[in-house]
Structure 1
Amino acid sequence: MSSSSRRDFLRGGAFAALGLALPFKGKSSLIESFAASKKLNAFGLQLWTVKEDMARDAKDTLKKVASYGYKQIESFEGKSGMFWGMSNKDFSKYLDGLGTRIISSHCNISTDFEKKAAEAAEIGMKYLICPYKGPQKSIDQFKKFADEFNKAGEICKKNGIRFAYHNHDYSFKPVDGQLPQEVMMNNTDKDLVDFEMDIYWVVAAGESPEAWFKKHPNRFRLCHVKDYAKTANGHESVQLGKGTIDFHSILKAGTANGLRNYIVEQEAFTGSNPLDSAAADAKYMKAFAI
């Protein structure tokens, strides 16, 4: 018996013994709880969370982010590009030295997309993501977006990576009697286009993230873990665990329906420090189990 097998055997025996020692209620509550809880293997940070710090000193900010426990990075395309003034290989090498890696990036899909897809693939990224399209007056415009996404998906597939679209609340508000999110999902090829659910914006739109995961299994492969709190002026993003979102049930439903990438994002709120928030959010995610 290997050492790992021996550990598994002893661990299993210990839990069985504890279960027998407890009052019988059909199943041991301890075993039931143990079986039901599962730590997330890895989680990432969308760099928009610390965008001002990245603009000031990208390398120092990435070093701090990695020290908080983030093993994955999702970038975005700013003035200095997805790789913050570095080449794709230099950016990837720097992250490797910090014990983290870039898995995805938001980017402008209307310019040089083939080049971006090739550079992303070259360093082992998984996704390029369209972050925003904005509200539209006609549902036909969202059908055109779906066509655009299919073309972007073909480019990504050719390079061995995937394409996804990231939602805001506008895609869950009816246009011409239809939900744009539904139209985009129904008019995109599931073999080419995935979706990144921003949980915050789904909740802000009054929709159920669990229902969307279940209705469209294996389409939402990534998510933004972002908490929600009501304010006098509407709502704002707050540190994880300090808002109203039930991430346990949402991420459990998502994982059961194909969700594989859990990416923290937090918008700045009154009195917040982005790096402090990133650290607090990482602490929450490290203790989180579904």
Structure 2
Amino acid sequence: MKNQRRKFIQMGAMLGVGAAFMPLQFCAAPKKEGEAVAESEPIMSKLDSFGIQLYSVKEDMGADAQATMRALAGYGYKQLEGFDGGKGILWGMQPTEFKSLMSEIGTTMVASHANVYENLDAQAAQAAEVGMKYLICPWIGPQKSLDDYKKRADEFNQIGEKLKSHGLRFAYHNHDYSFVSQEGGLGQDILMNNTDPALVDFEMDIYWVHVANAKPAEYLAKYPGRFRLCHVKDAEAGTGDPHERGVLLGAGEIPYADLIKQSKDLGMEYFIVEQERFPTGTPMEAAAANAKYLAALEF
């Protein structure tokens, strides 16, 4: 009796192993005649991490920078992008103090907007010491001619070369003005085509491209690998003053699920929330809502 039981168990184990290696079509239930074969569900992804431009909560930063950054980390932001609010890119903190804060709250300051035309070496040294990747020029203003954009491109190459010596990257953040047709061309194209990819990256402000009717998806595809960072903010549907169309993420018309997937495939690395208009609530409430939206977004 024991031998028969042992043989039964052994046969069952062998059948189990055989089933594991059996081709899937033989294991599946047979299809009825005329029944369509179901397509496999697409594999969805989510952002592993995302950041916020601290200018979105500039009043809170001015009142208490450390408390504000702690709160933002609590909302789920793993990356921060700074700006000089009058206290320097480290907000009055020494590099060791700043690094300690970042470690404590589990965030990384990946970049800072800065005046790259003044005290660049000093700012670069600070940025490098705390582990930033980028210093970013946030504004050059509308240029009078395409040749003036070419001059700015030459300056960007020089700035990029200097930052490279500090182990940093340089990037330029667009507004809508560089996407306005001028002399039969776009200033943004001049900047893209006359900067060295080894020295200059770009941060696409998707909102400003969108309200300039330049189609972010098409522009990303036009220059693959050049946009490494982006500002993520939404625009309400329709037309009107581009400064008055900002809404919370998910409340507007910009198709972020598609754009994020496409941009990642084209080299985008950093997705930075920026909110400049607050139809309802406070800047910190907007920051919390935008973080919740991005954390749940599937693409």
Please state which band the TM-score falls in when normalised by the shorter chain. Answer: 0.7 to 0.9
Residues 41-190 of structure 1 mapped to structure 2, 5 A cutoff: 41-190=48-197
197, 215, 229: which one aligns with 2:222: 215
Is 1:29 the counterpart of 2:36? The answer is no
Kept in 1: contact 2:154–2:195 (CA 8 A): yes
Question: d(CA) in 2 for partners of 1:207 and 1:49?
Answer: 24
* Structure 1 residue 140: Cα displacement: 1.4
Change (3 A) 1:26 1:90: farther
SS at match of 1:212: helix
Establish whether residue 251 from structure 1 lines up as the match of residue 268 from structure 2. Answer: no
* Cα drift, residue 221 of structure 1: 0.3
User: How far, CA to CA, are the matches of 2:230 and 2:90 in structure 1?
Assistant: 21
Structure 1 unaligned blocks of 5 or more: 1-12
Instruction: Say whether 1:205 aligns with 2:219.
Output: no
| Letter in structure 2 aligned against 1:68 | Y
Q: Distance in 2 between matches of 1:240 and 1:180?
A: 28
Q: 1:207 to 1:21 in 2, by over 3 A?
A: farther
Q: Larger deviation: 192-201 or 269-278? A: 269-278
| 2:58–2:85 contact (8 Å) kept in structure 1 | no
How far residue 174 of structure 1 moved from its aligned partner, in angstroms, is 1.5
Out of 218, 238, 246, which is 2:247 matched to?
Answer: 238
Give the whole-Å Cα distance in 2 for the aligned partners of 1:21 and 1:242. Answer: 44
Report the Cα offset of residue 289 of structure 1.
2.3
Alpha-carbon offset, residue 270 of structure 1: 3.3
How big is the shift at 1:266? Answer: 0.7
Q: Is the 8 A contact 2:164 2:199 kept in 1?
A: yes
Task: State the distance in 1 between where 2:29 and 2:58 align.
Answer: 53
Equivalents in 1 of 2:93, 2:86: separation in Å?
12
Question: Alpha-carbon deviation of 1:283?
Answer: 0.4
After superposition, give the CA deviation of every residue in 1:37-84 in whole Å (9 maximum; x if it has no partner).
111111001001100110111111111101000000000112111111
For residues 162 and 30 of structure 2, the distance between their equivalents in structure 1, rounded to whole angstroms, comes to 57
The separation in 1 between residues aligned to 2:151 and 2:268, in whole angstroms, is 26
**Structure 2 vs 1, CA of residues 21 and 140 (structure 1 numbering), >3 Å: closer, same or farther?**
farther
Residues 249 and 22 of structure 1: is their aligned pair in 2 closer, same or farther, counting only changes over 3 Å? farther
Q: Deviation digits for residues 13-44 of structure 1, max 9, x if unmatched?
A: 9xx89x957988556433xx22xx11111100
Structure 2: unaligned runs, 5 residues or longer: 1-20
C-alpha contact (below 8 Å) 2:278/2:286 kept by paired residues? no
**Aligned residues, how many?**
271
Q: SS of the counterpart of 2:229? A: strand
Cα distance change on mapping 1:211 and 1:93 into 2, 3 Å: same
Change beyond 3 A, Cα 1:140–1:20: farther
> Does structure 1 conserve the Cα–Cα contact (< 8 Å) formed by 2:54 and 2:81?
yes
Counterpart residue identity of residue 275, structure 1: M
Q: For the residues of structure 1 that align with 2:151 and 2:36, how far apart are their CA atoms?
A: 56
> How many percent of aligned residue pairs carry the same amino acid?
48
- Match of 2:170, SS state, is strand
Say whether residues 1:287 and 2:281 are aligned partners.
Answer: no
Q: 1:277 aligns with which of 286, 289, 297?
A: 286
Give the TM-score, by structure 2 length: 0.85
Match of 1:257, as an amino acid? Answer: L
Aligned-residue offset at 1:269? 2.4
Structure 1 window deviating more from structure 2 (64-73 vs 136-145): it is 136-145
Is the 1:22–1:28 contact (alpha carbons within 8 Å) kept by the matching residues of 2? no
The amino acid that maps onto 1:43 is F
